[in-house]
Structure formats: C-alpha cells, structure tokens
Amino acid sequence: MFIVTILGNNSAVPSNGRHPTSQIVQVNNELYMIDCGEGTQMQLSAFEIKRNRIDHIFISHLHGDHFFGLIALLNTYSLLHRVQPLTIHCHEGLKEIIDVQLKHSGAILNFELLYNFLPNDDSVILQQKDVTISVVQLQHRIQCVGFIFKENPKDRKISKEKIDRYKIPISALLSLKKGFDYIDENGTIIDNQLLTQNALPSKSYAYISDTKYLPELAEKLKGIDLLYHEATFKKEDEVRAAETYHCTTIQAAKIAALAEVKKLMIGHFSAKYKEQHLDEMLTQAQEIFPNTILSLEGESYEV
Amino acid sequence: MFIVTILGNNSAVPSNGRHPTSQIVQVNNELYMIDCGEGTQMQLSAFEIKRNRIDHIFISHLHGDHFFGLIALLNTYSLLHRVQPLTIHCHEGLKEIIDVQLKHSGAILNFELLYNFLPNDDSVILQQKDVTISVVQLQHRIQCVGFIFKENPKDRKISKEKIDRYKIPISALLSLKKGFDYIDENGTIIDNQLLTQNALPSKSYAYISDTKYLPELAEKLKGIDLLYHEATFKKEDEVRAAETYHCTTIQAAKIAALAEVKKLMIGHFSAKYKEQHLDEMLTQAQEIFPNTILSLEGESYEV
C-alpha cells in the first residue's frame, strides 16, 4: 500500500474552502506527513487519519503556509498524551520557532521531539523498513526542498507450487524471498529463479514543493511513478509565477514530460482561483502531459 | 451597536467541531479581536467578518489555544495588501514569537505592526472613540489577563420639540449633547435639562479568560452587562479544574452572582465534552445564575 492523501492544496492563504499545504504519505503501516499548514490537525480529524501513526514530519521550507499548523499539532500531541518520539525533518530555523513558542507558553512536551536538519545537497535523509526518503534542492525565495519517497526493493514472490515440489523447508523461505539460492543438506543448489518470481516493482512518489521552473529537475525525477508538482498559477500568469519563484500548469507538465513520470498531480493553487479555475488548470497541464490529475483535499491517490 | 461574536469556544485543542478561542467585539463601526487560536482566519471567513476593520487584537495569555492563529492572520493581512497599522495588545513574549517566524520565512509585513505590552496591574490599556478597554489580572498557569470593554459616556438626547420651541441654533447642539447649558446672545441661560434627555446608559462587556476560581474578581466586575467567563469544566470536575487553574460552570456562575452582572456567557469548554454536555453545563450554571447562556460559534450576542 502506497498512497498519498491531500489535506491542503492551496497556496499562501486559505481561500475558497481550500487549506494551506499538507499531505499524508502512507507506505503500508507507516504514515508520513509532508508540510503542515494552519489547520492541518483539523484536516487530520476531518479525514479520520490516525495522527498517532505519524512519527516523521517533513517540512519543505519555512513559508508559513507550509508550517504554521505544526506548533498546534505538537501541542495537541502533548495534551493528548503522545509518548513515542516524533522527528521533524526541516531547515534549522524551525527549531527556533518551535522552541520560542514552547518557552513562552510554559509547555513541556510529553514526548521526545527530534530534529533532522535538511542537507544542502540531494541526498537520503531517512531509511525506513519499507521506504527510503531523500531530498532534492529546489529554487524558491528561501531554502526549499522536494522529497522523494522510494519503496525499498520488495521480496521476490515465492511460488508455492514449486516450494512443495522441491520440498523446501519453511525456514528457508526468507532467504529465498531475498533472492538467495537454496542449498539442501546434501549441498545441492536449487536456483532461486526456479523457486520464486520477480518481486513487484518498487514505486516512487516525488513531492516537488514551491519552486521556480527548474528543467534540470527532470533528470532527478526520471521514471517516478507519481509526481506531485506545484502549479501555483495558470499559464497566463507566467510572469507572476517567475516573479514569485513559482510554476505554472504548463511548467509543471513540462517537468513531468521531460522526466517521463507515470502520472502528474498538480497542486498548491493560488488563493485567487475559484473551484472552476482548477478544471481549467487541469486542462492546461493535460495538453502537455495527458496523465495529469488535480490534488483534491480529502482524496487519496495510489502511487 | 455593541455585540460579541464567537469564533471559537473550545479549550486546549480543536474537537467536536469546535475551535480554539477567539471572539470579535463590535462597538459601532469598530471591530476588536480577543484571542486568536489556530484557524481563526478561517472562522472570520466562514462568518463573513470584515477582517480589515480590525485594528486591535488582544491576546489574554500565551497558551497556544489563544494565539496560534495570529501569525497566520498577520501573514494573510500582508499577502492581501493590508496597509493600515495593527496593534497587538499582549504579553511581551508574543513579539519574540512573531519576530522569529517573520525572520525565518523572510517575510516583511506590508503594514505597521505595533505592540502594546500588557501591564501587571488592573488598568486602562486603550481609549477609543466609543469604548475604553482595560485589563484585570487573572491567575492561570502563566501570566493571564481579562479584558473589560466599557462604552464611553454617550451623548445626551436632544429633544427636538424643545429645540424648536427655544429656537436653539444647530451650532449649539453638540455642546448640549455633552451636557452644557445653552447661553443665547443676550446672555440668557437655558438649563441643559430643559433641552435634553438623559443619555443611554454605557454598556460593558468583560472577557474573563483562563483563570482559577477568583472570588475577588467579582468586585472588579460589578454591574457588568455581559460577562464572558471561562467554564472549562463541569462541576463534577472541580478537582481537575483546580489542578489546571481553570473554573467549573458553578464557579463561573458564582462570580456572575457575586458581581451582580446582567448576563453570564460561559465558554472555553474542555475538548473532552461533546455537544450534549454543553447543555448540561448550561443547566449547572443556571442553577446558580439563571441568566446564563452558552457561547456558540458563529453566534453574535448583544451586550
């Protein structure tokens, strides 16, 4: 299971019923939060997401629409007696922002709050059981990164019928899944390929947060299964997009095409656009990259 | 016109559809915000309150459920091109909290942000055309105040019929409204009482934020027209209330009775209570002080 749930798809300020940025990435039983705009904890409740299953929060950059909801979420975790540690993956300034608020409110969190400060280069920041998360550097008005979630290589699939035929003991199955050959007590080698089938492919999700148009990103996103790319503006607003270090629908779609991703999801819509504008934005992107979808709040998308 | 609109009536964390604390006090054309929990700007939009008419925000204390929405509101004001100054009446720590967030987000507000740090005694903090606002010190786990809004003395009412009979010129009306006698060109004095009627009484609203039970408050709240008093807990939870420096329904009602206020409004309900508990809380308070109402989100109450 590898799905992305959208909690907020708006940029800058809440408007037209849309919320500032936040997403949940679920990989099997693990939940990860990306960005945490104001009201994210209410969105978690509204969409019945189990917030206690989140142990890692990734903040792409320190513009308010991507982190203003974090301190409130931390406060709520503490008031509701969270005990397990929580790690924030963020730029260093966020620690000062959290610390000063805890200090003045006299709050002591019940749980351990850990920080993993983001590097200045493109590198892996977290290795988990089922997924590996890395950053790519973007170009925005302040330091900003994207996050790539890549499933770890999966186990090869055991062929039950072959296992029975070759009388393979249960104790050997794990090493077979990992691709090792089977050696029986007499030293006879049975080739792994005879006993297993290829593993399912490892899927990948890339979250490209606020950035100016960066064609060189495409190389780093080659073959991504689901690419979320900000498309703050319609194509008509290309000048405004460039001024604010954002992208248009067309630019997001060009990146998707250059990177040959499987699917593109656009979001971070300018607060000025109403509901009906979003359909227009989708159409614009689809002219360049047909397999494009809108990120809609409360919806979950399979990677 | 003197009304209070409730934006959030919950304590600690958002729950059961309720939001953390915020209120709007409207005195004629002036809007004042008291406290600004997470999501307050969304509530302003939901209830169609003209946020640009707010020039003063009062923050009772620095627990997150009373201020986490402020930085987001400031950010929105700036992004939506507010130009007129805004004054925050608060404890000093809040400036550091705002400053550090502006610093790391690289934001420069378009408008002037002024601070009026709250005093440690009970005193007037703002004199406006129609209303005077003062603080009363409360006792909570950190420094905390209540706010009292008192309408300034109103003009005496001109009796049109008398004005005509005594042939009073229009130029003299303002001083008559203020209570001065009329002196005609011959030096004849016409007593003000002959020409005017008593002014309407000046109404008062008191917002008693988070506090332990403080009977000595009653003296300071004598004759208040509408008293908002926190009633975080039901009477059964009196021990928990004392531990957390909060009040029960009964304690809030006792203050109202001791102070002989006209009406009591209770709020800041514990996040654990569901809708139906609020009715029970109302009944508890009414047993002590019959003219009690609940503060309900989106509702406006005349002072």
B153 band by pLDDT with thresholds 50, 70 and 90: very high
By CA distance, what is B77's nearest residue in A?
A: A13
Closest in A80, A105, A142 to B13, CB measured: A80
Q: What percent of chain B has pLDDT over 90?
A: 96
Orientation angle between helical segments B70-79 and B93-105, nearest 10 degrees:
50
Q: What CA–CA distance (Å, rounded) separates B12 from B15? A: 9
The pLDDT of B150-154, averaged and rounded, is 96
Which residues from B are below 8 Å from A143, CB to CB? none
| Catalytic hit among B35, B55, B65, B191 | B65
d(CA A20, CA A210): 12
Is the CB of A42 less than 8 angstroms away from the CB of B41?
A: no
* Res B191: pLDDT: 93
Whether residue A185 has pLDDT greater than 90: no
CB contact under 8 A, B68 and A63: no
Residue A44 has pLDDT above 90, yes or no: yes
A157 min Cα distance to partner chain B (Å): 45
Residue B45 touches partner A, C-beta closer than 8 Å = yes
Q: Is residue A4 predicted with pLDDT exceeding 90?
A: yes
CB-nearest partner of A14 from B12, B42, B65: B42
B101:A41 CB<8 A: no
Q: Hey, which residues of A are catalytic here?
A: 65
Is the pLDDT assigned to residue B48 strictly greater than 90? Answer: yes
For residue A90, pLDDT beyond 90: yes
| Percent with pLDDT over 90 in chain A | 95
Position A95 pLDDT exceeds 90: yes
- pLDDT confidence tier of residue B222, bands split at 50, 70 and 90: very high
Q: Is A242 in the B-facing interface, judged by CB distances under 8 Å? A: no
Q: Give the C-alpha separation, B270 to B274, whole Å.
A: 9
Q: What integer pLDDT is reported at residue A273 of this predicted model?
A: 96
CA distance A255 to B172: 75
CA–CA dist B289, B163 (Å, integer): 45
For residue B18, is pLDDT > 90?
yes
- Which pLDDT band holds residue B91 (cuts at 50, 70, 90)? very high
For the ranges A175-184, A240-249, B144-153, B210-219, which has the lowest average pLDDT?
Answer: A175-184
Of B97, B105, B107, the CB nearest to A100: B97
Give B114 to chain A, closest Cα distance, Å: 19
Q: Write down the pTM of the prediction.
A: 0.93
Query: What is the full DSSP assignment across B39-92?
Result: THHHHHHHTT--GGGEEEEE-----GGGTTTHHHHHHHHHHTT--S-EEEEE-T
Mean pLDDT of chain A: 96
- Average pLDDT score over residue span A97-104: 97
Q: Is pLDDT above 90 for B45?
A: yes
| B106 contacts A142? CB cut-off 8 A | yes
pLDDT at residue B159, rounded to an integer: 86
In 3D space, the residue among A181, A209, A183, A206 whose CA is nearest the CA of residue A195 turns out to be: A181
Distance from CA of A42 to the nearest CA of B (A): 7
Task: Give the mean pLDDT of A161-178.
Answer: 91
Question: Which of the four pLDDT bands, split at 50, 70 and 90, describes residue B185?
Answer: confident
Using the beta-carbon criterion (under 8 Å), do A63 and B105 form an inter-chain contact? yes
pLDDT the model gives residue A159: 86
Q: Which residues, including other chains, have CB under 8 Å from residue A43's CB and lie 6 or more apart? A: A7, A8, A19, A22, A297
Confirm whether B237 is a catalytic residue: no
Q: How many CA atoms lie within 13 A of A170 on its CB side?
A: 0
Band (B59; pLDDT cuts 50, 70, 90): very high
Q: Does A38 touch chain B (CB under 8 A)?
A: yes
pLDDT for the residue numbered A5 = 98
Mean pLDDT rounded to a whole number for chain B: 96
pLDDT digit string, tens, across residues A115-163:
999 999 999 999 999 999 999 999 999 999 999 999 999 999 998 898 9
pLDDT value, residue B29: 93
Residues of B in contact with A80 (CB under 8 A): 13
Query: Is B38 within 8 Å of A14 when comparing Cβ atoms?
Result: no
